[in-house]
Amino acid sequence: MDRLVYRMTYRDKSVVFELNDLSGVRPGAVTVAATGESLTVRWPDEASRTWTAEFSLDSTRPLITSIGLEGRPIVRNASPQYWAATGKRRGRAGFDEFFDNPTNHPNGTRRFEGAFKPVSVKATTAGDRLELLFDGLQLGIFSGAIAYTFYPRSRLVHQEAVVSTQEPETAYLYDTGLRLTAPAEAVRPGRREVVSPITYYDIDGRLQTVMTSGPDRRPATVRYRAIAAKLDGGSVAVFPSPHTYIAPRDYTTNMGYVWFHGWAGRASPGAPGVLGVGIRHPTDDGAGEYYPWMNAPPGTVQRLGVFFFVSDGNAETTLDEALRFTHRDRFPALPGYKTITSHWHWGYTIQALHLGEHGQGEHWVPPFKQVLQDMGIDAAMISDFHGDGHPSDVTDLRLEELSAYDRMCRKLSDAKFLLIPAEEGSTYLGGHWSITFPKLVHWFMRKGSEGPLVRQHPKYGTVYQAGSAADVLEIVRRENGMLYQTHPRTKSSFGYPDSVRQTAYFLDPHYIGAGWKAMPADRSTLRQGVRAFKLLDDMNNWGLPKRLLAETDMFAIDHTSEIYAHMNANYVRINELPDFDHYGQVLEAVSRGDYFISMGEVLLPKVEVSTATPTAITVKADIEWTFPLAFAEIVWGDGNQTFKHTIPLAHTRPFGNESFTWKAEAKDWKWARLAVWDVAGNGAFINPVRR
């Protein structure tokens, strides 16, 4: 059956609601069947129990009639809800611009509520999964459809607005969720209220259950970006993609990224009430002027998603099961590796010195240490003196601060956590760049007067004075330091390192490459940090063995912060975490490229790229994951162009591990790398292997 046509009535107008192109549905674990009034999806969960999702083909009724287990409905009469705020991008970097905030654009911003009038539905099998695409969504300047994806051996349901716009320079944020029938016992018809329990972890990590209390969407400041709602016969948890929903910015303020409400309205006695649950993205950053939102280049297909996890159990259990997808916001330990993060601006040293003046400095433990340890981070390479301290000073004050920096990092380091001092410079080398030494080095970032590169100080010994790029390079060579371009091609590194690619310092192996972060945000692709990937491929096509290093570029954090959404980590291959006196071992492993980069949900414990033949690339990879995988890709270059071979992974189930072998025909390839992405836009990748 390839096409069914139904005639429906909507607002006194006859409309055709079509079910077409079923040729894309194949036999498998997820099935779909149609009747004259409904479309029903069936699939097995992880315990081989059968779940069903029934969709109405009557445009005047809620889209989702029910989602239930073995004939017992749990989610009932549910309708997707969407809102979008849109503005204009500006800046010299175009869609890669960070120093922007659409709210202060002269044209202002606009906000829209989605109008969903389904006119057709298309069912498609992809691997073992099934997608239903309901056309008929208008979301302000966006238009398109709403999609639902079902995954076998899982109770995970993915809802997405699949939309595009032709307006130029569009930036946007979106809210979404479901409006559904509330539990019967929650309805208070005399008061027009639905008093229904919502469960979440508060910012202190304590489990809380609160009651809905009115028609307004009520934001909640929660940990893990997730809530769960009790329903008749079970519960449902709602949460966004962990690393791609919250737009990049400098601060990690938790602004309340979930919402809920309950309302009976003018319901007569015995009539069902309405419960709403979803995710939200406030348009007011509240923590800085730079807040570039998400990008929607004209014609690109943006997928505005949210996940639902359905269960016949209670809300607390359902919430905990949903949190497994992010390991409860923790980077899992991997034998033979340690997790290293870089590029943090906490002003730690100056704060400690200030507190020391009041007798507290030597005993103060800043909040970031426990926050990172709780997330499974073993070491952090921080960048003090960026808006704090006196990095441009040419007197003993600069040397005193460097000594204090080393002392404070030593104080916070122990057998389980290592704090590595680095700096983000902006002199001589172009843009912003990170510099790290394997031990304390006293140096001035600029010269205060003419004189030699090296002089002896009666208190600090050898002191360097950098008066040029050549001086910085000489210092790095003598002290075996490490350099990389921070936030390449954006922020204050716009145009870099491209404009210095022929310089002696960039060509030097101590300059390892550039930073990688999931920035900017663009939901037309599951690949994150495309800006940096383009640079990585360019650098290697230039003939340079350069790499990316995961960086965060974040400022103040504490236990209340929404930090995991912005996190990434370098999984560095070292068996034991060295003590502070030997943290150079970490830098040596990074300089060798002995690490992979992960956002936490996808891990690459072992990857081998064969260099045996110049005409083909063979990759063997051991992969671990939580969300179902979407695809892997082998990317390579011949010195002039970049090529990709994409491997669909739509057969994978949640919470898996598998060994793969892939081959790509690649004539005259010079370098190759592997990246793996899941359905939520979480990924992991290795740096290029050169032939």
Q: Is residue 570 domain-resident?
A: yes
At residue 480, does pLDDT exceed 90?
yes
At residue 256, does pLDDT exceed 60?
yes
* Least confident range of 65-69, 251-255, 329-333: 251-255
Residues 237 and 117 in one domain: yes
* Least confident range of 7-21, 415-429, 552-566, 591-605: 7-21
At residue 3, does pLDDT exceed 50?
no
CB 539 within 8 A of CB 517: no
Instruction: Compute the half-sphere exposure of residue 267: CA atoms within 13 Å on the CB side of its CA.
Output: 21
Across the range 597-621, mean pLDDT stands at 97
What local confidence, expressed as pLDDT, does residue 8 receive? 39
What local confidence, expressed as pLDDT, does residue 159 receive? 98
Helix (H) or strand (E) holding 127: none
Residues 282 and 376 in one domain: no
Angstrom distance (rounded) from CA 284 to CA 279: 16
Of 456, 377, 447, 449, which Cα lies nearest the Cα of 418? 377
N- to C-terminal Cα separation, the chain = 51
Residue 85 pLDDT grade (very low, low, confident, very high; cuts 50, 70, 90): very high
Find the CATH number of the domain harbouring 121: 2.70.98
Mean pLDDT of the chain: 94
Across the range 477-488, mean pLDDT stands at 98
Residue 5 pLDDT grade (very low, low, confident, very high; cuts 50, 70, 90): very low
At residue 70, does pLDDT exceed 70?
yes
Look at strands 629-637 and 642-648 and give their pairing.
antiparallel
Residues 344 and 312 in one domain: no
What local confidence, expressed as pLDDT, does residue 266 receive? 63
Residue 232 pLDDT grade (very low, low, confident, very high; cuts 50, 70, 90): very high
Residues 318 and 385 in one domain: no
* Least confident range of 437-441, 444-448, 470-474: 444-448
Task: Supply the angle between the helices 348-356 and 396-412 in degrees, to the nearest 10.
Answer: 90
What local confidence, expressed as pLDDT, does residue 272 receive? 84
Residues 105 and 51 in one domain: yes
Across the range 452-464, mean pLDDT stands at 97
CB 9 within 8 A of CB 2: no
In terms of C-beta density within 10 A (0-12 exposed, 13-18 middle, 19 or more buried), how is residue 534 classed? middle
644-681 residue pLDDT tens: 999 999 999 999 999 999 999 999 999 999 999 999 99
Residues 432 and 577 in one domain: yes
What local confidence, expressed as pLDDT, does residue 270 receive? 64
Q: Is residue 648 domain-resident?
A: no
Angstrom distance (rounded) from CA 543 to CA 540: 5
* Least confident range of 11-25, 59-73, 459-473, 597-611: 11-25
Of 178, 216, 221, 176, which Cα lies nearest the Cα of 203? 221
DSSP letter string over 416-427?
Answer: TBEEEEEEEE-S
Angstrom distance (rounded) from CA 548 to CA 113: 40
Angstrom distance (rounded) from CA 424 to CA 445: 11
Give the percent of the chain with pLDDT over 70. Answer: 94
Q: Is residue 400 domain-resident?
A: yes
Instruction: Between 458 and 22, name the one with better pLDDT.
Output: 458
User: Tokens 């445009």 — which residue?
Assistant: 59
What local confidence, expressed as pLDDT, does residue 24 receive? 86
CB 573 within 8 A of CB 589: yes
Spatial neighbors of 276 by CB under 8 A, at least 6 apart, are: 81, 177, 178, 179, 180, 217, 259, 260, 261, 262
Residue 330 pLDDT grade (very low, low, confident, very high; cuts 50, 70, 90): very high
Please state the pTM of the whole predicted model: 0.96
Spatial neighbors of 551 by CB under 8 A, at least 6 apart, are: 341, 342, 343, 434, 486, 487, 515, 516, 517, 568
Q: Is residue 554 domain-resident?
A: no
Residues 257 and 405 in one domain: no
DSSP letter string over 553-621?
Answer: -B----TTS--GGG--EEEE--SS---GGGTHHHHHHHHHT-EEEE-SSEEEEEEEEE-S-SSEEEEEE
* Domain end marker among 276, 302, 326: 326
539-563 residue pLDDT tens: 999 999 999 999 999 998 999 999 9
Q: Is residue 272 domain-resident?
A: yes
* Domain range enclosing 125: 3-326
- Cα torsion at 110, 299, 565, 594 (round to 10°)? -150
Residues 157 and 51 in one domain: yes
Q: What is the largest CA-CA distance in the chain?
A: 91
Residue 593: alpha-carbon gap to chain centroid: 23
Angstrom distance (rounded) from CA 644 to CA 635: 5
Judged by DSSP in three states, 369 sits in helix
Residues 379 and 274 in one domain: no
Judged by DSSP in three states, 103 sits in helix
Residue 331: alpha-carbon gap to chain centroid: 13
Across the range 73-92, mean pLDDT stands at 97
What local confidence, expressed as pLDDT, does residue 59 receive? 87
Of 222, 250, 7, which Cα lies nearest the Cα of 120? 7
Across the range 128-144, mean pLDDT stands at 97
Q: Is residue 309 domain-resident?
A: yes
What local confidence, expressed as pLDDT, does residue 23 receive? 76
At residue 523, does pLDDT exceed 80?
yes
Q: Is residue 544 domain-resident?
A: no
> What is the Rg, in whole angstroms, of the alpha carbon atoms belonging to the chain?
27
Across the range 373-395, mean pLDDT stands at 97
Residues 205 and 260 in one domain: yes
At residue 686, does pLDDT exceed 80?
yes
Spatial neighbors of 649 by CB under 8 A, at least 6 apart, are: 127, 628, 629, 630, 631, 632, 676
Residues 163 and 230 in one domain: yes
Three state DSSP letters for 512-571 = EEEEECCCCEECCCCCCCHHHHHHHHHHHHCCCCCEEEECCCECCCCCCCCCHHHCCEEE
| Total domains present in the chain | 2
Angstrom distance (rounded) from CA 104 to CA 289: 9
Q: Is residue 630 domain-resident?
A: no
Angstrom distance (rounded) from CA 190 to CA 67: 29
Alpha helices in 210-366 (DSSP H): 315-323, 348-356
Judged by DSSP in three states, 490 sits in coil
Question: CB neighbours (10 Å) of residue 328?
Answer: 16
At residue 379, does pLDDT exceed 90?
yes
Q: In 3-state terms, the chain is what percent helix, strand and coil (to 5)?
A: 15, 45, 40
What local confidence, expressed as pLDDT, does residue 6 receive? 39
Across the range 588-616, mean pLDDT stands at 97
Residues 90 and 177 in one domain: yes
Instruction: Compute the half-sphere exposure of residue 583: CA atoms within 13 Å on the CB side of its CA.
Output: 27
Angstrom distance (rounded) from CA 194 to CA 187: 5
Residue 92 per-residue DSSP state: T
At residue 126, does pLDDT exceed 60?
yes
